[in-house]
Structures are given as C-alpha cells and as structure tokens.
C-alpha cells in the first residue's frame, strides 16, 4: 500500500463500453513516481510503433501525482498520449482542480482507449462509472459543453474536461479544456479525445488523499509556501502573471514578430501587463489552493470586442497571437484567443499557423480567399482563419488546420523555409537566435519544439549557470545545462507540479513533501535520476515512432536568417553550431552519434528492457 497514492488506475475501453480498476503497480511508483513518469511507462508498454494517434489503441491518460489533491502548493493535472501533431510522445499539463478531483474520486489516473460508437462522455463519481450519450453535445463549444453537462448531472461542482468543435474534427492542435479557463493546450490531446468520439470527462470525488506523516507534511508545505514568498520570480508572477514576460522578451530580442522574422515589437507594452491591466484585468485568480495566484479574471471593457470575458492573456498567447501577427491591440488579441479557447484549439499553434499563412500570402506562396486581405496586422483576417480552420470551411482552412509542418509540405516550393516548428510542434514564443542553449533545448525537447523542457533564457542572459560562466552566443558548454534542466523538469513533472511553483520551491522541499506524503525517504537527487530515466524512455519511444537525429533540428529561419534586430542582431544558429551542440548533447546524455541511448546508459537507468531486441 503506497500512501499518497490511491493505488487504483481506472481503465476505460470505449469500444467495449467496459471499465476495470487495476492496482497501480509498485514498479510504476518506485521508478516513475507519477504524472509524466506514469504516462511515459504506460505509453511505452502499451503502444506498438504502428499505433497511429487516432487509432483505437492509442491511450488518452489523465494522470495525477503523489502530491495531487494534498495541501502541497502549485500542483496540476497531466494528459499523456501519442500526439497527432508530432506522431511522438505528448505530455500536456492543466491547472484548475480536475487533477485533484480525479484523486478524490479514488484514482491515480484515468486511462482511456477504444472509440465510442457514438458521441459520448464519461461520468465518474467515485466508483460509479458511466459512459453517457453526448450526441446532443456534439457541435458545442468547450464552455457550453461544460455548462450543459453540469445541468444534466444537476451538479455545479462536478469538474469537467471537454473538447470543442476543433477536437471533434480532429484538428491536430486541438486542446482539452479543463473547467472554464485551464487547458491541456499543446500537441493535440483534444484531437485524440475527438477521435475516440469522447466529448468530455466529468469527475466528482468525495474521498480524501492520505499522507503518511501529516505533521511532517504540513511543515514541508509551510516551507514550500515560504520559499514561494521569498522568490522574486514568483512575486512578479503574482503581480502580472506571465504577461510581464512580453517586455522582457522584447528587450532581449526574443519576441516573435511577423512570423519570427523579427525579435522585437515596437508596441510590445500594449500587449504586456500594462496593456492587459488597462484594458482587461479585474482581479486575480488561482488554481485550486495555489498561493501564487498568477492568473487574472477580466473582461474587454472598450471598443469593438467590448464584453468578452477573458482570463489573463498568457505570454505565449499574447506573443503568438499579438506581436507575431503584428496586432498591437490586446482587446483584439483577447478576442482571438477566446475564439481558440471556445473552439478548443491551442492558441500558440493557431497563432503560429496564422503567422505562417500571412507571410506565405504576402510572399505569393498561397492566395488569399476572396474578400480577405490576408496580411500581418489584419485582425479580421486572423479571425477569418480561426473560423475557417475550426469549421473546415474551405480549402485554405482545411490546409492550415493540418498544422504548420503539414501545411508547408502540402504547399511545397519554399514555404518550408517559413514554417516555424520542431518535430511538427509549432514553435513557442522564444526565438533562440542569440541564445544557443535555448536553441538546443528546442531541438531536443521530447514533445517537439517546447520551451518548457529546459528553459535556459534567464541563465544565458545572466551569463551563468550553476557557477559555470556562459556565453549565450557560443554553442559550447550548453549540453550539460540543457540535459540537467530537462532531467529536472521531467523528474518534477512526476509530481505534476506547476512550472511556476518550481521557480520558488527547492528540490529539497519537493523531496521533503514527497517523503512525508509517501512514507519513503527520497533525496533531492531523485528528481534528476527519475527525470533522466523518463527522458531516455521517452527517447526510445520516440525513436520507435520513426523520429531520428535529423529531426533534432530548428526551423530553417533560425538557421539561415540572422536576427535583424535586438541585442542578438546579426546572429543565427548555424548548421555547424547545431551539429556541434547536438553531438555534445548526445555525448553528455550517453547516447551514440545518432542520438540513440547506449546500452550502458539504459542499464544504468534500469530501463535496459526497452531495447527492441530484449
Ligand atoms: S502558479 Fe498559476 S498556473 Fe501555476 S498552479 Fe498557481 S495559479 Fe495555477
């Protein structure tokens, strides 16, 4: 019996309309702790390389960690599946309270396979599991589906994950909306849900999460909260969420402008915390029990989009739907992001796709639809494309809804030069020209180009990591930092923690929380060790899906075009620098020159069973 776990995994087969509750294996908790670790192991064990993302055999997993549902601050929930956008491993995180509710219902995770014969939703109330008809919900947007299910269940306190119309149409960058304003946004988990004819998962739990040593756990929680209070980064998040990063990225020349052609935007402050505070915010809000309260509630108060209720516009959405499209009015950006949220499309990928389309049209690679002036800065054109993609309305909407990688392949010619993605995942809003470590992190991130798998920006700009001096422009000496940050991120994602919490909470305190909760003694090093194990397991999974060293790369723009503005002006990540960083990284990780983990590395990590020939 593992305390802090429910020791139950709920397996649901939509094809057979059956479910079973299996014990959470000790081997899973011992070597993989929870969350991302559970997802990596279960996906690796369950999927064969020819399992396509939309096949019945693909798993859609809602996972928790041992601290989920406890008093530990800044915890979230996690979705793991095989991504339809990249064809490789996907882990995507969501805030709010659904993760905790899954634990209260008695499960460490909900694992869904199969495909319902007709639109359905899953209703879980403790041990009551029901697959309900959702035919009447098909075609509704995310928030409407949430509202209707609550009404149907006659319970406003049920926590619900829904997809919108985009997920129903299997648009590969569809998200899962958890409650009203928290999304598992990246990589297309919503499309996998749609492929299973699954409109929603509704959960209500009435149980409690036990911890082994409540007194020690309470003390560790108090330490965690104190660490959060002392952190300047957390303080900034409490004041202005991630919106404050807009001006920071702009000053550093990392802010995408016009499909990443530029790294600065003269009107950045309009879409940053200044503009958001003036035009949108009314108060702060938080995920369940989080003392950071990085989020906002608000509404557009003036102008054409007056009346739209909105959350904070997070940095990534503000940048990719704002500066990237040359749109300086945060009210218009709020409108576009809200449309994405309602349709259930990732606003990051959507912004990048629209930026690609605007540049492609300006360069004559695609034609604008009749009556649409498809150029940067045109809010109406951006809105048109969101509707066209979500509703599959015309050939351009259908083309772009495939994601930027596939759209460029379909268009052909030179459009691939302006397609901003790595492994199919549209680039995040941190252009890496001028900070080579971030380039390496994007090249090697396990779910495709992602800034949250080793965020090096602040270390590189301060020219120091872990007492090592750093030259942000040099390709040398970046591998150790990137691998370490990736391992730590993967290791602490087993707790399903919020990344912002880890700005303040130390590894020692995470280990104390974990030890007090489970009754086992964990050293702070457990996160690096477990993270490295997960990273290598996911690498083996991704290689088996057809990924290889050639896909550890950057969008061609970052390689071929020097940055024209900002402090990094004149810099790019050359092919030579990419090759150098890759080989240094592979060596640091104990992989061969093709990026394949060596047998001795897998053995050291106790995952040598993942070799296909063993
Ligand atoms: S820091 Fe923000 S996103 Fe993270 S758990 Fe707290 S409120 Fe949620």
Which is the closest atom of ligand 1 to the Cα of 286? Answer: 7
What pLDDT digit, counting tens, does each position of 483-535 carry? 999 999 999 999 999 999 999 999 999 999 999 999 999 999 999 999 999 99
447 and 393 within one domain: no
How far apart are alpha carbons 344 and 101 in whole angstroms? 22
Is 259 contained in some domain? Answer: yes
Pocket test for ligand 1, best of 500, 504, 505 (most atoms within 8 A of CB): 500
Mean pLDDT computed over 3-8: 95
Mean pLDDT value of segment 231-242: 95
Task: State which of 290, 296, 497, 502 you would mutate to test the pocket of ligand 1, scoring each by most atoms of that ligand within 8 A of its C-beta.
Answer: 290
**Domain-embedded: residue 431:** no
CA of 155 to the centre of ligand 1 (A): 25
Q: At what angle do helices 347-362 and 330-343 cross, to 10 degrees?
A: 120
93 phi/psi in degrees, rounded to 5: -115, 150
Region 162-176: mean pLDDT is: 98
Write out the residue range of the structural domain in which residue 302 sits. Answer: 239-421
User: Ligand 1 mean position to 72 CA, how many Å?
Assistant: 12
The residue length of the chain stands at: 614
Alpha carbons 265 and 268: distance in angstroms, whole number: 5
Cα 455 to Cα 438: distance, rounded to the nearest angstrom: 7
Residues 312-336 have a mean pLDDT of 98
Work out the number of other CB atoms within 10 angstroms of the CB of residue 155. 12
Residue 605: pLDDT above 90? yes
Q: Are residues 562 and 474 in the same domain?
A: yes
The values of phi and psi at residue 545, to 5°, are -85, 0
CA distance 377 to 381: 9
Same domain for 335 and 282: yes
What φ, ψ does residue 504 adopt, rounded to 5°?
-115, -40
State the first-to-last Cα distance of the chain, in angstroms, to the nearest integer: 31
The average pLDDT across 287-299 equals 93
pLDDT at 413: 83
| Separation between Cα atoms, residue 237 and residue 329, nearest integer Å | 22
What pLDDT sits at residue 614? 45
Mean pLDDT value of segment 223-240: 96
Same domain, yes or no, for 413 and 445? no
Q: Would you state the pLDDT for residue 256?
A: 98
Indicate which CATH number applies to the domain containing 57: 3.60.9.10
pLDDT at 363 over 90: yes
Residues 411, 443 share a domain: no
CB of 228 within 6 A of ligand 1: the answer is no
Res 261 pLDDT > 70 = yes
581 lines ligand 1 (CB under 6 A): no
| Nearest to 221, CA basis, from 153, 276, 166, 290 | 290
Separation between Cα atoms, residue 502 and residue 482, nearest integer Å: 17
Q: Are residues 351 and 317 in the same domain?
A: yes
- Confidence tier at 611 by pLDDT (50, 70, 90): low
* pLDDT for residue 612: 56
CA of 562 to the centre of ligand 1 (A): 36
Q: Which of 293, 296, 317 most suits a substitution to test ligand 1, by most atoms within 8 Å of the C-beta? A: 293
When pLDDT is cut at 50, 70 and 90, the band that residue 551 belongs to is very high
d(CA 495, CA 521): 15
CATH code of residue 292: 1.10.569.10
Within a domain: 475:
yes
CA–centroid distance, residue 289 to ligand 1 (Å): 9
The answer to the question of residue 540 being in a domain is yes
Here the tokens at position 235 are: 């303080």
Are 400 and 389 spatial neighbours (Cβ–Cβ below 8 Å)?
yes
Instruction: Confirm whether 155 is domain-assigned.
Output: yes
Residue 23 and residue 1: Cα distance in Å, rounded? 10
Q: Single out the residue in 184, 204, 224 at which a domain terminates.
A: 204
Place of tokens 């194990």: 533
d(CA 524, CA 506): 9
Cα 324 to Cα 123, 266, 329: the distances in Å are: 40, 12, 12
Q: Indicate whether 274 and 339 sit together in one domain.
A: yes
Considering the domain architecture, whether residues 169 and 290 belong to the same structural domain is answered as: no
- The helix or strand, by DSSP H or E, that contains position 102, with its residue range, turns out to be helix 98-104
Return the pLDDT at 2.
76
Q: Is residue 96 in contact with ligand 1, taking CB distance under 6 Å?
A: no
49-106 pLDDT tens trace: 999 999 999 999 999 999 999 999 999 999 999 999 999 999 999 999 999 999 999 9
Query: How far apart are alpha carbons 365 and 356 in whole angstroms?
Result: 10
Question: How many helices (H) and strands (E) in the chain?
Answer: 25, 19
Mean pLDDT, to the nearest integer, of 141-146?
A: 98
Is 74 close to ligand 1, i.e. is its CB under 6 Å away?
A: yes
Nearest CA to ligand 1 atom 5: 74
Residue with tokens 């810099």: 571
- Nearest Cα to Cα of residue 111 among 129, 95, 97: 129
554 shares a domain with 509: yes
Taking the centre of ligand 1 as the mean of its atom positions, its distance from the CA of residue 561, in whole angstroms, is 36
In sequence order, which residues have a C-beta less than 8 Å from that of residue 215 and are 6 or more positions away? none
Q: Are residues 143 and 194 in the same domain?
A: yes
Q: Dump the DSSP string for 36-49.
A: HHHHHHHHHHH--T
| End position of a domain, from candidates 421, 445, 470 | 421
* 451 and 566 inside one domain: yes
Please indicate, yes or no, if residue 124 is contained in any of the structural domains. yes
> Which of 290, 274, 173 lies closest to 228, judged by CA?
290
Strand partners, 174: 345
State yes or no: pLDDT of 613 exceeds 70.
Answer: no
The Å distance, Cα 427 to ligand 1 centre, comes to 23
Q: Of all atoms in ligand 1, which is nearest to the CA of residue 74?
A: 5
Instruction: For residue 462, give Cα distances in angstroms to 16, 429, 456, 466, 473.
Output: 56, 20, 10, 11, 12
Q: Supply the residue whose CA is at minimum distance from atom 8 of ligand 1.
A: 287
Q: Is residue 586 a part of any domain in this protein?
A: yes
Residue 365 in contact with ligand 1 by CB distance below 6 A:
no
Task: Tell me: do 69 and 149 sit in the same domain.
Answer: yes
**Average predicted confidence (pLDDT) for the chain:** 96
Q: What is the pLDDT of residue 187?
A: 98
Beta bridge partners of 201: 122, 161
The predicted pLDDT at position 1 comes to 62
**What's the CA-to-centroid distance between 76 and ligand 1, angstroms?**
8
Q: Can you tell me the distance from the alpha carbon of 282 to that of 321, in angstroms, rounded to the nearest whole number?
A: 22
Crossing angle (nearest 10°) for helices 507-518 and 479-492: 30
Which atom of ligand 1 approaches the CA of 75 most closely?
Answer: 5
Q: Read off the CATH number of the domain in which 484 is found.
A: 1.10.599.10
Measured from the Cα of 237, ligand 1's closest atom is 1
Q: Where a domain ends, among 204, 231, 260? A: 204
Which pLDDT band holds residue 609 (cuts at 50, 70, 90)?
confident
When divided into structural domains, the chain yields a total of 3
Q: Is the minimum distance from the CB of 292 to ligand 1 under 6 angstroms?
A: yes
Q: In this structure, what are the phi and psi dihedrals at residue 78, rounded to the nearest 5 degrees?
A: -145, 140
- Name the closest-CA residue to atom 7, ligand 1: 286
- Any atom of ligand 1 within 6 Å of the Cβ of 498: yes
User: Residue 223 domain-assigned?
Assistant: no
The finding on whether 505 has its CB within 6 A of some atom of ligand 1 is no
């Amino acid at each position: 019996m593992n305390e802090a776990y429910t020791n139950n995994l709920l397996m649901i087969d939509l094809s057979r309309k059956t479910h079973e509750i299996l014990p959470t294996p000790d081997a899973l908790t011992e070597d993989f702790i929870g969350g991302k670790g559970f997802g990596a192991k279960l996906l690796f064990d369950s999927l064969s390389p020819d399992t396509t993302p939309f096949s019945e055999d693909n798993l859609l997993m809602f996972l928790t960690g041992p601290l989920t549902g406890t008093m530990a601050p800044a915890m979230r929930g996690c979705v793991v599946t095989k991504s339809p956008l990249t064809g490789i491993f996907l882990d995507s995180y969501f805030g709010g309270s659904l993760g905790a509710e899954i634990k209260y219902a008695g499960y460490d995770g909900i694992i869904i396979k199969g495909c319902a014969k007709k639109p359905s939703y899953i209703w879980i109330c403790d041990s009551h599991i029901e697959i309900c008809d959702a035919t009447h919900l098909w075609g509704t947007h995310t928030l409407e589906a949430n509202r209707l299910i609550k009404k149907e269940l006659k319970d406003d306190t049920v926590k619900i994950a829904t997809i919108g119309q985009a997920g129903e149409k299997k648009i590969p960058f569809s998200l899962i909306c958890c409650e009203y304003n928290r999304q598992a946004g990246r990589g297309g988990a919503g499309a996998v849900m749609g492929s299973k004819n699954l409109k929603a998962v509704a959960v209500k739990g009435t149980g409690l999460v036990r911890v082994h040593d409540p007194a020690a756990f309470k003390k560790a929680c108090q330490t965690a909260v104190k660490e959060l209070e002392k952190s300047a980064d957390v303080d900034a998040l409490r004041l202005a969420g991630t919106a404050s990063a807009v001006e920071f990225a702009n000053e550093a020349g990392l802010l995408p402008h016009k499909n990443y052609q530029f790294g600065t935007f003269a009107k950045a402050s309009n879409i940053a915390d200044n503009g958001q505070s003036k035009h949108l915010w009314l108060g702060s809000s938080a995920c369940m029990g989080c003392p950071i309260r990085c989020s906002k509630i608000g509404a557009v108060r003036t102008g054409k989009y007056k009346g739209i209720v909105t959350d904070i516009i997070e940095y990534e959405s503000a940048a990719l739907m704002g500066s990237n499209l040359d749109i300086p009015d945060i009210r218009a950006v709020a409108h576009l992001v809200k449309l994405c949220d309602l349709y259930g499309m990732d606003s990051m990928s959507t912004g990048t796709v629209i930026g690609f389309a605007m540049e492609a049209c300006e360069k004559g690679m695609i034609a604008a639809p009749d009556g649409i002036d498809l150029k940067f800065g045109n809010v109406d054109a951006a809105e048109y494309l969101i509707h066209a993609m979500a509703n599959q309305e015309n050939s351009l909407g259908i083309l772009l809804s495939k994601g930027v990688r596939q759209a460029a392949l379909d268009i052909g010619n030179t459009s691939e030069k302006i397609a901003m993605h790595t492994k199919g995942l549209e680039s995040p809003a941190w252009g890496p020209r001028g900070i080579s470590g971030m380039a390496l992190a994007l090249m090697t991130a396990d779910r495709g180009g992602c800034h949250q798998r080793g965020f090096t920006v602040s270390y590189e700009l301060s020219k120091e990591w872990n007492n090592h001096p750093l030259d942000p422009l040099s390709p040398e000496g970046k591998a150790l930092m990137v691998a370490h940050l990736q391992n730590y991120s993967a290791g602490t994602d087993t707790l399903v923690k919020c990344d912002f919490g880890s700005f303040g909470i130390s590894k020692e305190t995470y280990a104390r929380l974990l030890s007090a909760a489970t009754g086992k003694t964990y050293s702070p090093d457990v996160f690096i060790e477990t993270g490295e194990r997960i990273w290598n397991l996911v690498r083996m999974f991704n290689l088996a899906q057809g990924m290889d060293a050639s896909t550890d790369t950057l969008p061609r723009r970052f390689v071929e075009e020097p940055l024209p503005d900002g402090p990094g002006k004149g810099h790019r990540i050359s092919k030579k620098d990419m090759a150098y960083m890759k080989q240094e990284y592979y060596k640091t990780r104990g992989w061969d020159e093709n990026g394949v983990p060596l047998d001795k590395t897998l053995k050291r990590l106790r995952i040598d069973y993942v070799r296909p020939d063993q």
